[in-house]
Amino acid sequence: MQTLKSKYPACPDRLDPAQIARFQREGYLVFDSLLSPAEIEQARAALSEVVRRSHALAVAGSPEVMVERSKYRGHSDAGVFIKKTGGTFGLQFEAGIDPLALSAEAAELKIRKLMYYYKEHPCFTALVEHPKIRGIVGSVLGPGSLLFQDMALIKPPFIGVEKPWHQDNAYFAYSPLDQIIGVWLALDEATVENGCMHVIPGAHLQGAKKHFHGTDCEIVRDRLDLARVIPLEME
């Protein structure tokens, strides 16, 4: 496995021409210090607050939330969902976990992801408008870009379901492909040991690849050049 050699030590307000060219060539950029230590702690605290509030409402049987038990078996989406009634926000727990039988502290450590959560706390609405994030996105897409999806992947230790190789477009079939990008922020250390993101540089230039549904949506293995994989470690 190769190692990441192209991480930038500081995050700019906008991308320069060389960074844009690298992004178009390799399909990703990695920056240190987009958020300050204080901003990271605020985001972590806000996630905890949102989770515990939703869990408390579900345990109390509040009509403000719905509890859905997935019909999937052997799939990454097999866990319980706590969803906001009449909204899009929701928490998904890892498969086999009953969050209503756990304390708030224990349930928080069993979450797989939060979906459409940015309106649930002022910290996240501020992040959406963060000048560096807006500047980077604007450098690639131009002015007037819109938020398409927001997600927090928690990746709890020991029980988390693996995420197979995939292209995001397989989940939502957005077109044109060059008019959508993803911005991913690490709120704690992301290393090979704890399951950081991995990429294949330049694979996007080959276009959309065939996927199939197993435990998740994933690329057919013989269409992957795994010798070129790079882990995107962020500490």
Of 89, 48, 99, 47, which is closest to residue 69 (Cα–Cα)? 99
Q: What domains does the chain contain, in order, with CATH numbers?
A: 17-231 (2.60.120.620)
DSSP conformation class of 95? T
For the ranges 82-86, 172-176, 223-227, the one whose mean pLDDT is highest: 82-86
2 versus 13: the higher-pLDDT residue is 13
Mean pLDDT for the stretch of residues 25-54: 96
pLDDT at 96 over 90: no
Q: Residue 151 forms beta bridges with which residues? A: 115
Can you give the pLDDT at residue 146?
A: 92
DSSP conformation class of 43? H
pLDDT at 77 over 80: no
pLDDT tens readout for residues 163-177:
899 998 888 878 888
Mean pLDDT for the stretch of residues 86-94: 95
**Which CB contacts under 8 angstroms, 24+ apart, belong to 78-86?**
79/112, 82/54, 82/55, 82/57, 82/58, 84/54
DSSP conformation class of 85? T
- The residues, any chain, with a CB within 8 Å of residue 193's CB and separated by 6 or more, are none
Distance of CA 228 to the CA centre of its chain: 23
pLDDT at 74 over 60: no
Mean pLDDT for the stretch of residues 177-199: 92
How far apart are the C-alpha atoms of 99 and 232, rounded to whole Å?
Answer: 31
